């Protein structure tokens, strides 16, 4: 699948697939599994490492010298961009929405240690940063550099296809374990990871319910964004083949806003850690964990359904939330 696409081999693949026995028993799921993309390697791993393999492969083909991307103050994507650039020899510039803090913690601390050049935009939000990206790219070109723009979350066709390949990886692993996933739950911010998984399921002819738990957009908005991403991939990579995607979004835990810790998310983080030693983050996977627990308890997921929790990483963000350690 996509074997001819240029790629920098940076991630530690395949990532593990294993059961969450104690958590599954506690919420009434007999077959609860976790796909560990928090273990893709390099600076605490995460799903964007898969995407950046293909992004950097593409950047290398046009002889780019500088990678520029955008994110929030505790962006997992920006941290993973910084580390793969350090590994692959690219200059890295990060444009972050928010005011520069007095003390760097979590992902921001790691980005600084990795040598990324960081510029803060205190009056901007993640959703307004694309114009900033365009401005900086043009400035760098005027200076004689050859920059490569990466949108938030590496949500671009060359990044999205990495998760079609990841679906193929999961399919191979689950077959060896003797099951086929019925449901997959994954965090959905910009929607690229979800789009890739849906494309992969289509290409493999899998009948699986892939649920994107939204952390940034309302369901209808995110569905349209994912649909557009899938259409862009089909247009750029005809081998995908045209199809009508089934896009399942759960935006139940969208409020009170992006990155704001709630009691429910904190409970999910605590439960995963105490039950099976799995660390979730407050922005993305914590909300997926809460959604999983709610669906199981409400009966939205049958007890015998083969369910996969796709861990997309983000553990460094835990260190930016000291309130998690307070009882």
DSSP 250-292: E-TT-TT-TT---HHHHHHHHHHHHHH-----TTTHHHHHHHH
Catalytic residues: 75
**Among the listed residues 302, 201, 150, the one whose alpha carbon sits nearest the alpha carbon of residue 212:** 201
Evaluate if residue 326 carries a pLDDT over 70: no
Same fold yes or no, 17-46+156-325 and 48-154: yes
Domain spanning 17-46+156-325 has what CATH number?
3.40.50.1100
Domain spans, the chain:
17-46+156-325, 48-154
Residue 126 predicted with pLDDT over 90: no
Region 264-272 average pLDDT: 97
Q: What CATH class is the domain 48-154?
A: alpha beta
DSSP-H helix ranges across 47-113: 47-61, 76-88, 106-113
Q: What is the pLDDT of residue 15?
A: 98
Give the residue among 179, 209, 184 at the shortest CA–CA distance from 312. Answer: 184
pTM higher than the cut 0.75: yes
Calculate ∠ Cα 68-185-209, nearest 5°: 115
> Which DSSP letter does residue 178 get?
T
Residue 268 banded pLDDT, cuts 50, 70, 90: very high
Work out the angle at residue 225's Cα, subtended by the Cα atoms of residues 223 and 228, and round it to the nearest 5 degrees: 110
* Local structure of 214: helix, strand or coil: strand
Per-residue pLDDT tens for 136-163?
999 999 999 999 999 999 999 999 999 9
Query: Which whole number is the average pLDDT over 198-211?
Result: 98
pLDDT tens digits for range 93-124: 999 999 999 999 999 999 999 999 999 999 99
Residue-wise pLDDT for 50-59, tens only, equals 999 999 999 9
Q: What is the pLDDT of residues 218-256, one digit of tens each?
A: 999 999 999 999 999 999 999 999 999 999 999 999 989
């Amino acid at each position: 699948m996509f074997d001819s696409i240029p790629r920098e081999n940076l991630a530690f693949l395949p990532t593990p697939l294993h059961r969450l026995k104690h958590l599954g028993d506690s919420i009434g799921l007999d077959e609860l599994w976790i796909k560990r993309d928090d273990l893709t390697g390099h600076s605490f791993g995460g799903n964007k490492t898969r995407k950046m393999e293909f992004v950097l492969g593409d950047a290398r083909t046009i002889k780019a010298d500088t990678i520029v991307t955008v994110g929030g103050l505790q962006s997992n994507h920006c941290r993973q961009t910084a580390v793969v650039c350090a590994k692959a020899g690219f200059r890295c510039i990060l444009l972050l929405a928010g005011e520069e803090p007095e003390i760097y913690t979590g992902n921001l601390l790691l980005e600084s240690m990795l040598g990324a050049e960081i510029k803060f935009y205190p009056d901007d939000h993640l959703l307004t940063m694309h114009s900033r990206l365009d401005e900086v790219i043009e400035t760098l070109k005027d200076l004689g550099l050859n920059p490569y723009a990466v949108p938030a979350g590496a949500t671009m066709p060359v990044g999205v296809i990495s998760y079609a390949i990841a679906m193929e990886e999961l399919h191979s692993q689950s077959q060896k374990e003797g099951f086929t996933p019925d449901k997959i739950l994954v965090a959905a911010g910009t929607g690229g990871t979800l789009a890739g998984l849906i494309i992969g399921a289509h290409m493999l002819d899998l009948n699986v319910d892939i649920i994107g738990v939204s952390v940034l957009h309302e369901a209808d908005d995110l569905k349209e964004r994912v649909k557009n991403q899938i259409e862009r991939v089909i247009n750029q990579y005809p081998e995908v083949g045209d199809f009508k995607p089934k896009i399942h979004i759960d935006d139940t835990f969208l409020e009170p806003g992006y990155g704001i810790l709630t009691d429910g998310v904190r409970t999910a983080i605590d439960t995963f850690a105490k039950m099976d030693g799995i660390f979730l983050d407050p922005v993305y996977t914590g909300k997926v964990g809460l959604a999983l627990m709610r669906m199981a308890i409400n009966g939205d997921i049958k007890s015998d359904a083969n369910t996969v929790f796709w861990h997309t990483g983000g553990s460094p963000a835990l260190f930016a939330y000291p309130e998690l350690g307070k009882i």
